[in-house]
Amino acid sequence: MNHYETVFILNPVLSEDQIKETVKKYEDFLVSKGAKMIAKEDWGLKKLAYPIQNKKSGFYHLFEYQVDGEVINPLEVEFRRDERFMRYLTVTLDKHAVSWAERRRVKLKEKA
Q: Kindly state the helix (H) or strand (E) to which residue 40 belongs, with its residue range.
A: strand 36-52
Q: Which long-range contacts (CB under 8 A, 24 or more apart) does 15-19 make?
A: 18/84, 19/59
pLDDT value at residue 21: 96
pLDDT surpasses 90 at 25 = yes
SS3 state at 79:
helix
One DSSP character per residue, 44-75 reads EEEEEEEEETTEEEEEEEEEEEEE-GGGHHHH
pTM of the prediction? Answer: 0.91
Contacts for 46 with CB less than 8 Å, ≥ 6 apart: 57, 58, 59, 60
pLDDT value at residue 24: 97
27: domain CATH number is 3.30.70.60
Range(s) of the domain holding residue 63: 2-111
Of 41, 34, 38, which Cα lies nearest the Cα of 1? 34
Question: What is the average pLDDT across 28-47?
Answer: 95
Number of folded domains that form the chain: 1
